[in-house]
A = this chain, B = another copy of it.
């Protein structure tokens, strides 16, 4: 049986985060010692590892909740899981596209920042005057 701190270390999670996951129903309420401290088993560790891993892949807690529901019902079609992962991929790709536009704009701003004082600074000028933009980040997500 694992104390919460051990579980935290093994999964790279903060203790408070584990309690938070329990509170929102992502982790089941674990057994307790007589003194009231939580004790976990390997199954809890697996479930938490799954959650953390999915979080690192950028899934929201709601998506993870869906995935856990699916995995608790192994007869359901794989397509359901596929759909969730696909949605996630689309979101990741959209975020990448947006960030790449920002990177281009920032680089351009920095390239043009050659004056000495703030009053002549191109960066501030560009931020002040949107029409100076080359990218279309105004219209983006």
Chain A interface residues toward B at CB < 8 A: 12, 46, 49-50, 53-54, 56-58, 67, 70-71, 73-78, 80-82, 85-86, 88-89, 92-93, 95-96, 99-100, 102-103, 105-107, 109-110, 113, 115-121, 123-124, 127-128, 130, 137-138, 140
CB distance from A70 to the nearest CB of B (A): 5
Given contacts A56-B138, A78-B115, A81-B124, 17 further A-B pairs with CB under 8 A are A53-B130, A56-B140, A57-B127, A58-B99, A58-B102, A67-B127, A73-B118, A74-B118, A82-B110, A85-B106, A85-B109, A85-B110, A86-B110, A89-B110, A92-B103, A95-B95, A96-B100
